[in-house]
Amino acid sequence: MALYSVHIQGDGPQSVAEAAFVRQAFSWKAFFFGPLWLALHRLWAALALWAAAYAILIAASLTVVSAGAGLFISFTLQMLLGLEANRLREAKLRRQGYRLVEIISAPACDEAEIAFFRQFEAPDHPLADIASGARGGAES
């Protein structure tokens, strides 16, 4: 089971429908495909830092750093990106005005989404009034 943080922007029914789900785990995709992953998620500042770090690493590898040390540094940079990738996504969501509303444990993101939206069927849920508008239910 994995943990997923759920972020919404605003208070209307549309904000619940456009909830963002972020897995709370190591990102293997970011580890293996760092710059592509950063570009896909539009994390431009992080992509610029990644490119600068690798430009410095390449320049250092050509002059002072041995091949083994360069490989170790590259692996360490990719490991750091894999560890922090989802934190970078959450920080971007916060800057865009999203707020954390829930953390859900589920085996996959699809099931986390189902569990999150199913909670709105209970009228005592704090966001139930928002969801009832999204489903076309009566507002009180």
Residue 59, domain member (yes or no)? yes
Give me the DSSP letters along 59-93: HHHHHTS-HHHHHHHHHHHHHHHHHHHHHHHHHHH
pLDDT mean values, one per 10 residues, the chain (140 residues): 92 81 96 98 97 94 88 95 97 95 93 88 58 42
- Report the distance separating Cα 21 and Cα 56, nearest Å: 34
Which residue is listed with tokens 């994995």?
2
Residue 140, domain member (yes or no)? no
Into how many domains does the chain fold? 1
Could you tell me the residue range of the domain that residue 83 belongs to? 2-135
Residue 114, domain member (yes or no)? yes
User: Is the Cβ–Cβ distance between 91 and 32 less than 8 Å?
Assistant: no
pTM for the full predicted model: 0.78
